[in-house]
Amino acid sequence: MSFDLVFFGGTGDLTWRKLLPALFQAWRHHKLPEGGRILAVARDERSDDEYRAFVRERFAAVDSSKRPNEAEFDEFAQLLHYRRMDLSRPEDYTGLKAWLAERGADTALMYLATSPYLFPVICEQLGAAGIVGPHVRIVLEKPLGHDLASAQQINRVVRSVFDERQALRIDHYLGKPAVQNLMALRFGNALFEPLWRREWIANIQITLAESLGVGTRGDYYDRTGALRDMIQNHALQLLTMIAMEPPSSSAADAIRDEKLKVLRSLRPFTPETVARDVVRGQYRAGSVAGQAVPGYLDEVKVPAGSRCETFVALRTEIQNWRWAGVPFYLRTGKRLAGQDAHIVVNFREVPHPIFPGTRRANRLVIKLQPEDGLELHLLAATGGSRDELLSPVSLDLDFDRAFPSERVGAYERLLLDAIAGRLNLFVRSDEQEQAWRWVEPVLDAWNNDPTGPRPYAAGSWGPAAASALVARDGCAWAEEQ
């Protein structure tokens, strides 16, 4: 299958840091379809060879295991091409149309790795130039809008040019192997599904923690914040995967229909419940991995006195029969104690304990980052005494060890799916808008709250109020158990 893949924002951070290395890995693993061309589009004047040299230089910063050697890069670079384009000029799209028509590839993929405010402009110009056809798809990077109204405006423009099945809204967390295995865990095995409900599960925690600060992206991050950056998309998508009902099939829309039902069942926020069930924080100076780091307000390009949140913890519930009364805790933040993304399913304690020793409920930990895997925490008899004592034990599945030759990175998987037109791991517009609809009352409440975010020391797990949030229900975060 021949394909043309066009990166709008072809010299940007995302393209050279994530997308091109992922494509190189697909090429190295012989999974990239034959007959492909990759076109980078940007405002600078460059030749193909100058762009290839630009990419070669930046590949030096890629993780060593994913870095091409000289011979590999020379061969891969033959796929790379470059065009200078002003994204507001119709004549530049005419030139792009001519480039695409040179050979008429089976599939043309337009990847918008630009600022979201350019999405409507690019879509309208693609439509006006006659580039859009049944073989053309568009990939939209997050953030898709700044609020519900802007997200709806972007979707209106996209739908005026592309069919819903041609518009792929990407969330790279859905490409992670452990997230894909959520479906296999729940719907490919009979072990957990009978227990996957309020009678047996006490609470579910989703943590997306980063040890890094905002770096040089202070101006962008300050306009976004942790709620928009991580909760509205990544965390809510994980929540839908963990909580949805069994779909009728593995077809994309069957899965996305069930995810949408979860989003619509989330308990809506009011100003009172925001004050009670949502904690926002902002990191101050501290120490991470033994190194002193500055506070958020001292970071480059962060406005003085900013009230932007770098941490969010919240409690919610899903109002349906399966999950009624089960707390779901979502947490994300920058400059936390570790780089750690995981989902913890805490089961209820046995109804009548008959063994002395540790009384600890079973836990299933789905590890997303830095490693992918599953841990099942159980209790077992220690032996050697008259009264059997129970001690914690765990069953540990490391996906890297279990499938050493079949590992595919998140962006690699999603790019291959986008080229092939597989939609299962992409977000539909109604899902995305419903997620905005749910978080918007939180944003509104914060706009009317003069207190601002709570301070927390860099290198900690966030404000103490986040621990108090779960302690109200007699629970604790995973690192505190």
Is the bond leading into 194 cis (omega within 30 degrees of zero)?
no
Q: Is 86 annotated as a binding residue?
A: yes
479 known member of a binding site: no
Annotated binding-site residue? 43: yes
What 8-state DSSP symbol labels residue 188?
S
Is 466:313 a contact under the CB 8 Å cutoff? yes
C-alpha–C-alpha distance, residues 279 and 462, integer Å: 10
Residue 147: both structure tokens together: 């609020």
Report phi then psi at 163, rounded to 5.
-70, 155
Give the C-alpha separation, 186 to 175, whole Å: 17
Beta carbons of 367 and 374 less than 8 angstroms apart = yes
Instruction: Name the phi and psi angles at 248, rounded to 5.
Output: -70, -25
92 is in an annotated binding site: no
Which residue among 234, 342, 352, 377 is the active-site one? 234
Distances (CA, A) of 145 to 155, 193, 321, 386, 433: 9, 36, 33, 64, 10
Whether 234 is a known active-site residue: answer yes
The length of the chain in residues reads 481
Chain mean position to CA 140: 13
The answer to whether 229 is a known ligand-binding residue is: yes
How far apart CA 23 and CA 31 sit, in angstroms, is: 9
* 373-381 β-sheet, strand order: 390-398, 373-381, 363-369, 340-347, 201-209, 328-333, 311-316, 278-284, 454-457
4 is an annotated ligand-binding site residue: no
Residues annotated catalytic, as ranges: 234
Residues tagged in the binding site annotation:
43, 86-87, 142, 172, 176, 210, 229, 334
Residues tagged in the binding site annotation for substrate:
172, 176, 210, 229, 334
